[in-house]
Structure 1
């Protein structure tokens, strides 16, 4: 049984914002960069699986956990500076990014090319400039302004396209999500809806700009789950073709949220260890 104890630390980012992170384990440093609607607490199971081989640092990105607010000048640059600040404070040389955290990881790697190895699980990169794919953002934003968080959440889940709910009538998707996400889980999700909007606006701004990842020279592994939709695998393949020497692999039985505690991080931990340890 793994008895690794994780403690909480923090470091200031370039603009003075506090960035908190959990840390524990033994070995070279590995940073975990969470996705949207997630905190460091959602990746503790993955971190424990990695902790016998790595000293793991799970970041609380801006707007969550022990980190400061996103701030009025929020953008992808700030996200990259936050990761770089944690790397500078810890000396970590490896990094894992999930979903939007994968996008942040790639953008950080182009600005601060100091990671030896990078593992990405379904990075939230918009490889195509498709305006129709972003129609949900206006509905989401309007729902938040009208203090309708459930409506906003339904718009996001359907718009993101990672579950079969994307093809269901909105009323049915809303009903299912009310049953699935409630209590403490809903309270935690609702608290991150505003940050989620800002993060996806950054993803939208960066759509179609993935070519500059050609400059990444680190060892890169792109992972996806075979239960995820086709556009996820297409994105990973485009990125694999763009980043020289990178590898792409699809893991059986996994879906978009598999790196998180409630899903199946064991297979992902195994691949991280295989490629980096």
Structure 2
């Protein structure tokens, strides 16, 4: 079931629509442009509004659909039976509603895109920016501390446990109390308010990342053409995983963008540069590398 209404966004550029997923959860999306359809699946602690600059840049040649994954924005809640399968069903529902043949996935959204593409040969091309795949099992000790902080309504504490636990920044090496203080000073205002709202959803999503950790080499059956993009400022562990993932997928290519980190596709990153790589990839005939 699909409804689509023209509603002005803040920039007055996007058309809004929604679709019901398999479990009847509402999944909202916003669209811009004209041409072959691309569906963008955003990362954790984010929503569709964090990728509008990327969508606008790509809209010169494509119709770009920015979905809000369940648990935020235009979409319904994650629900008590949340799992990766639900995310894949949501993406599939938006694909069917919009006719999008191509996927873009960032971080956790990249993992969702990979999972779906490995199961659905109708997906012709997938562009990924540092998808959330891991070469080794993820330690879950920080997740227990994160959950305990949420139960105390200490969202600053939960966020500090998350940042330290992921091991992707120098804050990992700092004492918890000091990392929490630094993050309080660094992350404020509306940026913090969005993160705070999404911390419960983020924990559920990273439980799925942990469940699927060490699965980096399991995507060899993916039939889509895959472009993997990484930033040269990202940690070596991320680059190692991206290299392994690209090696595992037959029809894949790895690109490195200078000066960018894990947040390259987002509005405050380098979306115009990422859009150029993605546009060139999607415009090349399928099967040509």
Q: Same fold (TM over 0.5)?
A: yes
Which residue does the alignment assign to 1:198? 204
Contact 1:4–1:51 under 8 Å retained in 2: no
Task: Output aligned runs, 1:78-97, within 5 Å.
Answer: 78-97=86-105
Q: Unaligned regions of 5+ residues in structure 1, if any?
A: none
Q: Unaligned regions of 5+ residues in structure 2, if any?
A: 1-10, 284-289
CA RMSD of aligned residues (A): 1.4
Task: Output aligned runs, 1:238-257, within 5 Å.
Answer: 238-257=244-263
Contact 1:29–1:57 under 8 Å retained in 2: yes
Deviation at 1:168, TM superposition (A): 2.4
- Residue 15 (1) aligns with residue 7 (2): no
Mapped to 1, the partners of 2:23 and 2:197 lie a distance apart of 23
Contact 2:108–2:131 under 8 Å retained in 1: yes
Mapped to 2, the partners of 1:163 and 1:48 lie a distance apart of 30
Deviation at 1:157, TM superposition (A): 1.2
Mapped to 2, the partners of 1:40 and 1:241 lie a distance apart of 30
Once the two structures are overlaid, the 10-residue window that deviates more, 259-268 or 38-47, is 259-268
Which residue does the alignment assign to 2:154? 148
Contact 2:133–2:215 under 8 Å retained in 1: no
Superposition misfits of 4+ residues, deviation over 6 angstroms: none
Which residue does the alignment assign to 1:60? 68
Once the two structures are overlaid, the 10-residue window that deviates more, 181-190 or 205-214, is 205-214
Once the two structures are overlaid, the 10-residue window that deviates more, 205-214 or 254-263, is 205-214
Mapped to 2, the partners of 1:229 and 1:35 lie a distance apart of 17
Contact 1:4–1:24 under 8 Å retained in 2: no
1:162 to 168, 177, 181: 168
2:114 to 106, 119, 122: 106
Contact 1:4–1:25 under 8 Å retained in 2: no
Which residue does the alignment assign to 1:50? 58
- Residue 134 (1) aligns with residue 140 (2): yes
Mapped to 1, the partners of 2:217 and 2:259 lie a distance apart of 30
2:83 to 70, 75, 90: 75
Q: Deviations over 1:225-262 (max 9, x none)?
A: 01110010011111111110211121100001111111
TM-score between the two structures when normalised by the length of structure 1: 0.95
